[in-house]
Amino acid sequence: MLERLAMAAGLTLVITLLLGPFFIPILRILKFGQQIRLEGPRGHQKKAGTPTMGGIIFLVSIVVGALALAEKPTSLEMMTVVGSMLGFGVLGFMDDFIKVVMRRSLGLRAYQKLAGQIVLALLLSVVSVKVLGRGTDVIIPFTSIHWQLGRFYYPLAVFIIVWIVNAVNLTDGLDGLAAGTTLLAALAYVVIALLAAIQGIGVAVLAHDSDLAVFAAAVVGGTLGFLRFNAYPARVFMGDTGSLALGGALAALAVLTKSELVLIIVGGIFVLEALSVILQVISFQTTGKRIFRMSPLHHHFELGGWSEWKVDTVFWTVALFCAVLGIIAYFPGFGS
């Protein structure tokens, strides 16, 4: 089992490292360069023109690596997690395409992007419950309690899925930040998926099946390889193509292991990034004052004098803590 996980991560890592030098020049030739918004940090203006939509690189490698090493590559479970990742990736690609090719800096309208995310989140939830037999209960972190929600499961699941997908997208604001934090969250899900398989938690037919852990390991390898090109100073950005896809991958893993609430802990950095934006907007609209120098949260520290590399390393350290805490939060749910 552990050998397959290592092979999945390794194969995905190698494919990503091989695809990068081939694909990045193509993005440059096609002039798929990032447009930098004027209201962002001034230091980011020098990044204008850096190729974006690089998420395609690790999406290809994750799909190949996960399916190649899965015990049952065509199972409904694997198709669900892969399909969720690609579904959100396609939505992100549409957003990037409008920004880069059609030269509309904001991409899809906010309501269009949100509507697409809700539809994909609802589809993931319904398929997991109605087709895969996931049930409508969720594990309460740090307890052995399974909270039975019935029909109320769907709005909770959709809310968490959409929150995490957008939060990963917001985190993708500095070189290497989203890739590194997602890598650590996916590493936590390698462990969580293995524990779920051993205990038969989640989708009933997943008992003693480690394919979800293989998929999570592939995400680890893909994001690790992408850091070779995306760490500061970035040679390519993942774009919404990559960030929405990674959020979809984590969300699918959470849904199928009944760890939606645990995902909030595992993805603590993502949650903080999203909360900083919400709090900033509420504060400014109600009092006219800003809580942070700029949101999302990483920009607050950047404008406070931190280098991009310092922000990355501090946030990665917090993400590692959240990943370990998330595993601990999931563990007491066993045996129920």
Residues β-bridged to residue 138: 147
Give me the phi and psi of 51, to 5 degrees please: -55, 140
266 and 326 Cβ atoms separated by less than 8 Å: yes
- Where helices occur in the chain by DSSP H, the ranges are 2-29, 55-69, 76-100, 110-126, 153-171, 177-199, 211-230, 239-256, 260-266, 268-287, 297-303, 308-330
- Tell me which amino acid residue 159 is: F
Whether 240 has a binding-site annotation, put simply, is yes
CA distance 198 to 194: 6
Rounded distance, CA 192 to CA 257, Å? 8
Distance of alpha carbon 266 from alpha carbon 324, whole angstroms:
8
| Element of type H or E holding 138 | strand 137-139
Q: Are 302 and 246 in contact (CB under 8 A)?
A: no
Angle between helices 110-126 and 239-256 in degrees, nearest 10: 30
Q: Residues annotated in the binding site for Mg(2+), as ranges?
A: 169, 240
Q: Residues annotated in the binding site, as ranges?
A: 169, 240
